Amino acid sequence: MDGMSADELVATYLRALSSGDVDLAVSLFTDDAVGHSLLYGATEPGTFYPRLFADTSAAHLTLLATMQGHDQQGATMISFFFHFDWHRPQEPRRPLTSLTRASGP
């Protein structure tokens, strides 16, 4: 999140997801980050995004809301809510809505 506004961070993340850009997606996380996915479980970004993008034939994303605040220790928190119309090869589309949270110093 260094140097990025909440809107820039969210736009960059959604651009990485919609274009399948592994390097861009992973660059948004710290080295010790772990994501939690219902499909893939607890996974490091460097493992998660290649798997997700390999399982994706098309993705259409619509940002619904962005929220920003601070946790009890004063770290900035950003949450964003988006619709993810996900298509996997050889399977019917799987539309879902995601609430994603990012935090930092």
DSSP label at residue 27: H
CA proximity to 56, closest of 19, 13, 98: 19
CA proximity to 67, closest of 29, 101, 25, 17: 101
- Catalogue the E-assigned strands of 5-93: 35-37, 41-43, 58-70, 76-87
Q: What is the residue-level pLDDT of the chain in tens, covering all 105 positions?
A: 567 888 999 999 999 999 999 999 999 998 999 988 888 899 999 999 999 999 888 888 899 999 989 889 988 888 888 888 887 787 766 655 665 655 555
**For the domain with range 6-104, which CATH number is right: 3.50.50.60, 3.40.50.1820, 3.10.450.50, 3.40.630.30?**
3.10.450.50
pTM above 0.85, yes or no: no
